[in-house]
């Protein structure tokens, strides 16, 4: 990290707690070329400090400052968080039952689901549709005594 700071001294600037890349940028993220490989500066710094970033994982900023590359402000975010974010923003419109098949439900919801499912009156499919739950899972839940 020290070597990095020295090498890119002219392109880095402390702004409060943030170490901001003032060099080449793309989409607000700092860009850097190391031995012919293009890096986003924050990802490069993260890798240098913490080791390789697992595939499909992104490096996020706790300071919400994209050109910042203070290793203390960088943390790993998973694809799941990303896709949940996308779901929340309405960018993913998959069939509910499939998308949420493994979604977690609170105990309250499960109790509610169990109370809604009445065999031969309200089907597991109807309950499943309402909660975005796989009908097989509704039946499975309702066949169990405990709420888990």
CB of 67 to Zn ion, least distance (A): 9
CB of 30 to Zn ion, least distance (A): 12
Pick the stretch among 33-41, 57-65, 101-109, 127-135 that binds Zn ion (CB under 5 A).
Answer: 57-65
Using the 8-state DSSP alphabet, how is residue 52 labeled? Answer: P
Q: By C-alpha distance, which of 53, 98, 65, 102 is closest to 80?
A: 102
Instruction: Please answer whether residues 5 and 21 qualify as being in contact, where contact means their C-beta atoms are separated by less than 8 angstroms.
Output: no
Beta pairing partners, 34: 37
CA pair distance 108, 114, nearest whole angstrom: 10
Pick the stretch among 14-22, 48-56, 91-99, 127-135 that binds Zn ion (CB under 5 A).
Answer: 14-22
Q: In the set 40, 41, 60, 65, which binds Zn ion (CB under 5 A)? A: 65
Q: Does 63 bind Zn ion (CB under 5 A)?
A: yes
Q: Does 73 bind Zn ion (CB under 5 A)?
A: yes
Q: Does 12 bind Zn ion (CB under 5 A)?
A: no
CB of 39 to Zn ion, least distance (A): 17
Instruction: Look at residue 98 and give its three-state secondary structure.
Output: helix
Instruction: Please answer whether residues 53 and 76 qualify as being in contact, where contact means their C-beta atoms are separated by less than 8 angstroms.
Output: yes
Using the 8-state DSSP alphabet, how is residue 70 labeled? Answer: -
Nearer to Zn ion, 59 or 124 (CB): 59
Residues within the interface to Zn ion (CB under 5 A):
18, 63, 65, 68, 70, 73
């Amino acid at each position: 990290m020290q070597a990095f700071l020295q090498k890119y001294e002219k392109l880095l600037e402390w702004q409060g707690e943030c170490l901001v890349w003032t060099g080449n940028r793309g989409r607000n993220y700092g860009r850097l070329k190391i031995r012919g490989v293009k890096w986003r500066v924050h990802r490069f710094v993260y890798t240098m400090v913490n080791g390789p970033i697992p595939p499909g994982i992104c490096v996020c900023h706790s300071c919400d400052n994209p050109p910042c590359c203070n290793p203390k402000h960088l943390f790993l975010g998973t694809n799941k968080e990303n896709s949940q974010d996308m779901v929340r923003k309405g960018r993913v419109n998959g069939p509910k039952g499939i998308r949420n098949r493994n979604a977690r439900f609170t105990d309250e919801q499960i109790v509610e689901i169990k109370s809604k499912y009445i065999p031969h009156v309200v089907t597991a499919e109807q309950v499943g549709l309402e909660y975005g739950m796989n009908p097989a899972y509704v039946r499975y839940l309702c066949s169990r005594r405990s709420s888990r």
